[in-house]
Amino acid sequence: MLIGAFTGFATAYLTGSLWAGVFAACLIGILAGLLMALMTVYLGVNQHVSGLGITLFCTGLAYYAFRVIFGTPSHPPQITPFDQVNLMGDVAVLGPIFRQYPLTYYAIVLVPVVWVILYRTNFGLKIRAVGENPEAADAAGINVYGVRTVSLMIAGAFMGVAGAFLTLSTLGFFTFDIIAGRGWVCIALVIFANWIPQRVLLGAFIFGGVQALQLRLQLTGVKFPYELFLTLPYVVTIIALTIANRNAAYPAALLKPYKRE
């Protein structure tokens, strides 16, 4: 995410085009996904180790590139971020709900798109097959390595744009530690949502909603330690998603590298 945030920002800063930034973030995400695929799919390296390694690598690389391009400014360099798009005008309740950044709409649209691809297309069936039972998939003539690599590249592209959302929409600048652990929250959401796209969306809404709610609860003046308010989004999301899926069923071949005999 950080490298996506940085690449998106640097590209937008240097070209003056926000969409070029989004595109560049997407590309760098694909590259990161390819690197991950090389490690885990082809070399069969432990996914935790290579995942952490690539995270550290990308973080270091992004900071290094930041210093090379921007030096060490005391004020972060800035761009004009995306404006919010208002779909509903000033309608009482819906107005604020539908006043979002363009990337937010794309993210929400992507959920049904991903669902259709995963559950209603041949390609989606292949993705699920290589995640559940790569041996059987291979026997059925599916290129396990190829499908896994493409999946990781797509995931990488999403991740890159997710990072770029922070620099190109929310803040308009890039600084160190800008992601502040949000990527790990995403991973946790996927696990708690059982790898089901619509549940991930639900989980994300609960998390984001409670996050926004707790900030407002703090301002009601209730004498309550603010640290506990800050834990609310995590607690509520875990409880909600645990209740929603007590029969956790993760992909059978999760974390298992496939080696062709």
Partner 1 sequence: MLRRKWFYFLLVFLMVVSFAAGCALPEEDAAEPSETDELEEPVEEDDLFSIYGIYSTPAEEPWVSVINEACDKLVEEGKATFAYTDNLGYAGDFERELRQVADELQPDLITGDAFGNEEAARRVAKDFPDIAFAFGSGLGPVEPNFSVFDNWIHEPAYLLGVIAAHMTETDKIGIVGGMPVPEVNRIANAFLFGVKGYNEDATVYVTFINSWFDPAEAKEATLAQIEQGADILYAERFGVIEAAEENDIWAFGQMTDQNDLAPDYVISSAVWNLTPTFEYLLSSIEGGTYTAQDLKDFCMMGKGGAYLAPFHGLEEELPADLIDLVNQLEQDIKDGVLRVDIDESTPDAVN
Which 70-89 residues touch partner 1, going by CB under 8 A? Answer: 71-76, 78, 84
Size of the site for partner 1 (CB under 8 A): 50
**Residue that the structure tokens 């875990």 belong to:** 238
* Encoded amino acid at 244, one letter: A
Q: Of the ranges 16-24, 113-121, 173-181, 196-204, which one interacts with partner 1 (CB under 8 A)?
A: 173-181
Among 58, 69, 50, 82, residue whose Cα is nearest residue 2: 58
Binding mask 181-220 for partner 1 (x = CB under 8 A): -x----------------------------xx--xx-xxx
Q: Of the ranges 59-67, 86-94, 133-141, 184-192, which one interacts with partner 1 (CB under 8 A)?
A: 59-67
Q: Alpha-carbon distance 176 to 168, whole Å?
A: 15
Sorted by sequence, the CB contacts under 8 Å of residue 204 that are 6+ apart come out as: 189
- The alpha carbon torsion through 73, 75, 77, 82 (nearest 10 deg) reads 160
Report if residue 121 touches partner 1, rule: CB under 8 A: no
Grouping H, G, I as helix, E, B as strand and the rest as coil, residue 198 is helix
Kindly state whether residue 10 participates in binding partner 1, applying the rule CB under 8 A.
no
Taking the complex as a whole, the smallest distance from the CB of residue 20 to partner 1 amounts, in Å, to: 22
Q: How far is the CB of 150 from partner 1 (least distance, A)?
A: 23
Chain residues in the site for partner 1 (CB under 8 A): 39, 43-46, 49-50, 52-53, 56-57, 59-61, 63-64, 67-68, 71-76, 78, 84, 166, 170-173, 175-178, 180, 182, 211-212, 215-216, 218-223, 226-227, 230
